[in-house]
Structure 1
Amino acid sequence: MSTASRLPGIVTTDHVFRLPLDHTTPEGEHIEVYAREVVAAGRESDDLPWLLFLQGGPGGKAGRPLGRDGWLVRALDDYRVLLLDQRGTGRSTPATRQTLARRGTPRAQADYLAHFRADSIVRDAELIRRRLLGDDGRWSLLGQSFGGFCTLTYLSIAPESLREAFVTGGLAGLHSSAEDVYRAAYPRVIRKNEAHYARYPDDVAAVRRIAAHLAGSPAELPDGGLLTVEAFQALGTLLGGASGSDTLHYLLEEAWVEGVSGAELSDTFLAEAQAKLSFAQGPLYAVLHESIYGQRTVDPAGTGWAAERVREEFPAFDAAAALDSGAPVLFTGEMIYPWMFETDPALRPLRETARLLAERTDWPDLYDPARLAANEVPVMAAIYHDDMYVDTAASLETAGAVRGLRFWITNEWEHDGLRVSGGKVLDRLIAMARGEF
């Protein structure tokens, strides 16, 4: 039974759908997928078009609205919105170290998680669409980041179900291998580091001091995790957001206190670092991250910890060498490394499962270039200039490969522009779809 709630300016309704784990065997095991319907207060009975929101990730649940806030400010003018907790996340049947342990061996866990990529998410959405709108109903689509990757998969699998599609920071390279992705990403991360240190020059010394301390004595985090130099560098994932550089700077400001034996890393710093680094609330992000690029015709040998391999081509990220030479210690970005499954308690039980997924070689292709070249669905995309998470050059190439796709390239916003712009990014894309730009 659906449950409705009222929040400031909106009415939400809960939906839970029982769907096949493997869409090729619909009579087999089933999972639950949760979605939250959101409509403007007073418009509950209006015949509004539906807008399905596909969240970034992988492994991220949809945002929890506190009212008519964020991009919903604009969306609810025109749409009835469906916020999908993609399979394995949020209130959908969870996939975590606790629940996956019930499946037994790492091999069984890896085989289960092979059904949690964009193709399965899109097929979930198709069954949900039929149940909410009927077989012939069509809805609009908004894909943020990984949700944009899913949008390209949707356009490849079931474009006839879409009225229009909006993509924000999520035009994936159709033919990019995992190695291609990271080979393009590391130079962007270097530029974000340079921008951070130009903005906060004193952070060069602050970061070197912390890195030197951790090199000699990794710190235990409150949850039992380990803050090594490499884990400390991983805080650079913050640098891709609008306020990420500032957040990182303020974190560094409170790194030290004077203890009984002298200077030591503060509990405040360690707790905040843990909050930024732990995958306890989203383990699928780490476990499945490289697999979102896996396509058998592109990566026939599998993804194989591509971020770790490619990192060796960029010695600027070698913290030990930087400490020896007096150079700035660089932060890394949106990369997942094998050591994370040792230092993070939420990931340790999934270490072998992650290895098996990294070695998997039979990932189905996610995109149909021929179908995208013949696309008839109006597609509007925001491409962020020098996006740290998604390569701008690859996005532009994909934009040219999808028939009829119109894009807006901007340096006004970072990768999180949809979330932080108060509806301005979405408003621009809707205006483009209406022919106002």
Structure 2
Amino acid sequence: MLDGTRITDHWFTVPLDHARPEGQPITVYAREYRSAAAEPDPVPAAAETAELPWLLFLQGGPGGKGVRQARLGGWMKEAARHFRILMLDQRGTGLSTPANRQTLPALGSAAEQADYLVHFRAPSIVQDAELIRLALGAGPWTVLGQSFGGFCALSYLSWHPEGMARALITGGLAPLTGHAERVYRATFERMRARNAEYFGRFPEDRRALARIYARVRAGGVMLPDGSPVTVGRVQMLGMYLGGNTRMDQLHYLLQEAFVESAGGPQLSDTFLQGLYQQVSRAANPLYLVMHESIYAQPLECGATGTAGSTATAWAAQRLLETSPGLADFDPARAENPLLTGEMVFDWYPELDPALAPLAGVTEALAQREGWGPLYSPDRLAENTVPAAAAVYTHDVYVDRDLSLETASRVAGLEVWETDEYQHDGLGDDGAVILRHLLEMTSG
């Protein structure tokens, strides 16, 4: 316990397939945070209870484990004034039953592994959360979802609204219908604008990036894990553009990209380590394996869903290769292509040693059809749970226009649109954002 922060570990046994509760079990882990200086919850009904109410935090991802903190800070310090915080390691991540290169191949063929991972999407995460809530003896709780965690919160509102006292969403209003191409078509445009903003602020970095591309195209550049550096992997440094302060971190990294050696200028170990930290999926393989599946759903669905959803089939890559308007992102058509963001491509598992054993299941999921619904637009249209969402105007990962489209279809959802933050607003100024969302839902 540091500075009054009380941390408790929780393990829960849940079924892999909630439709077959007697079937294979898996473990889900969660960490509880409490503050010794906690105050009564601002909601009168909750303040009447003997215990502080719970706040469930759903992390971004997919494949992201819960935040690890030794002491409370930022949004967690603010939340702990009024709540017991439950930080969930979503199934397959962290201390929950793992799903990675060491465990998945033991399940059998790529098709068998895919059948297993079908149960690792938002609806299953939500059903885990409901079982956990009941096991804790908790009443309806506040759910805070960041990014993909916001997608899960929408799924929660769709399938188990009885478990929610309110829903708070930051940078995480997913499209309720439609193909994954909608997402990537929008986010490519957001990334183009963000590239222009970045290079307008650091014009010298255009030259630095062009120099890096030229060196990489000459061949022989390796990351610390021994895997090759490619232009596409360098483009992934665009992940830095998802945050305001992270933009500066990209600039500092490019400043140190080269070092003089006996054989002439070479890419520095500092740069290669920074690039490795962006491109390696050793710590979160499900981010790549499951990424496009978080958008895989029937093109239109009601309360019970409809059949006939199409495969995602590497939607971002198909757009990149076939759209004339995206030539400036395509290494095959542009000498110095723009930086990309949360787009995934079929060469990922070929290059990343942590993903190579999962290449088969990743491809099987990309080509899978008949996905079930992630949300129920009909139920969301009748929502009665107090809900509020922070929508970031220039978010390069979760498009503002698609977010507002979703917000318009969720009854009672209040939107706070702001251009002050990027996608990582909760980490940047989380206490302010959380306070504002709590006020919006406090009645």
After TM superposition, the score normalised by the length of structure 2 is: 0.93
Q: Deviation per CA, 1:307-338, whole angstroms, max 9, x where unpaired?
A: 10011211011235432xxxx53101101111
- Give, in whole Å, the separation in 1 of the partners of 2:202 and 2:38: 48
Unaligned runs of 5+ in 2: 40-48, 301-307
Q: Which residue of 1 aligns with 2:212?
A: 210
Matched AA of 2:427: R
Partner letter of residue 90 of structure 1?
A: G
1:302 to 301, 306, 311: 311
Aligned match of 1:107 in 78, 103, 111? 111
Match of 1:364 among 346, 366, 372: 372
Alignment of 1:395 with 2:403, yes or no, is yes
After superposition, residues 78-157 of structure 1 pair within 5 angstroms as 78-133=82-137, 137-157=139-159
Judged with a 3 Å threshold, the aligned counterparts in structure 2 of structure 1 residues 46 and 276 are, in CA distance, closer, same or farther, namely: farther
Determine if contact 2:59/2:88 at 8 Å carries over to the other structure.
yes
Partner of 1:240: 242
> Which letter does structure 1 place at the counterpart of 2:393?
H
**Aligned partner letter, 2:278:** K
**Structure 2 CA distance for aligned equivalents of residues 361 and 171 of structure 1:** 24
Q: Which amino acid aligns with 2:422?
A: E
Aligned equivalents of 2:334, 2:61: Cα separation in 1: 31
1:377-416 matches, within 5 Å, as: 377-416=385-424
Q: In structure 2, what is the equivalent of residue 38 of structure 1?
A: 33
Instruction: Tell whether the 8 Å contact from 1:296 to 1:302 is kept in structure 2 after alignment.
Output: no
- Helix, strand or coil at the partner of 2:143: strand
| 1:407-426 alignment runs, 5 A limit | 407-426=415-434
Letter in 1 for 2:334: A
After superposition, the C-alpha distances for 1:228-251 in whole angstroms (9 at most, x for unaligned) are 011101111110112221111111
Name the counterpart of 2:46.
none
Confirm or deny that 1:172 pairs with 2:156.
no
Question: Residues 161-200 of structure 1: CA distance to partner in whole angstroms, max 9, x if unpaired?
Answer: 1111100000111113101110111010001100110010
Moved over 3 A (4+): 42-46, 319-322
C-alpha separation in 2, matches of 1:166 and 1:86: 18
User: How far apart, in 2, do the equivalents of 1:411 and 1:272 lie?
Assistant: 28
After TM superposition, give the deviation of residue 218 of structure 1 in Å.
Answer: 4.8
Q: Superposed, which structure 2 residues align to 1:262-273 within 5 Å?
A: 262-273=264-275
Question: 1:8 Cα shift?
Answer: 2.2
Does 2:300 align with 1:316?
no
Distance, in Å, in 1 between the alignment partners of 2:83 and 2:145 is 15
Which deviates more from structure 2 when the two are superposed, residues 405-414 or residues 296-305? 296-305
> What CA deviation, in whole Å up to 9, does each residue of 1:118-137 have, x standing for no partner?
01000000100110125xx2
Paired residues of 2:293 and 2:366 also in contact (CA < 8 A): yes
The alpha-carbon deviation at position 402 of structure 1 amounts to: 0.5
Report the equivalent of 1:57. Answer: 61
The answer (yes or no) to whether the contact 1:204–1:329 under 8 Å persists in 2 is no
Report the secondary structure of 1:238's partner residue: helix
1:308 maps to amino acid:
Q
Q: What does residue 337 of structure 1 align with? A: 345
CA distance in 2, matches of 1:318, 1:297: 28
- Asked if 2 retains the 8 angstrom alpha-carbon contact of 1:207 and 1:329, the reply is no
Please give the root-mean-square deviation of Cα atoms over the aligned residues, in Å: 1.5
Which residue of the partner structure matches residue 45 of structure 2? none
1:84 alignment partner AA:
L
CA contact (8 A) 2:313 2:367 kept: yes
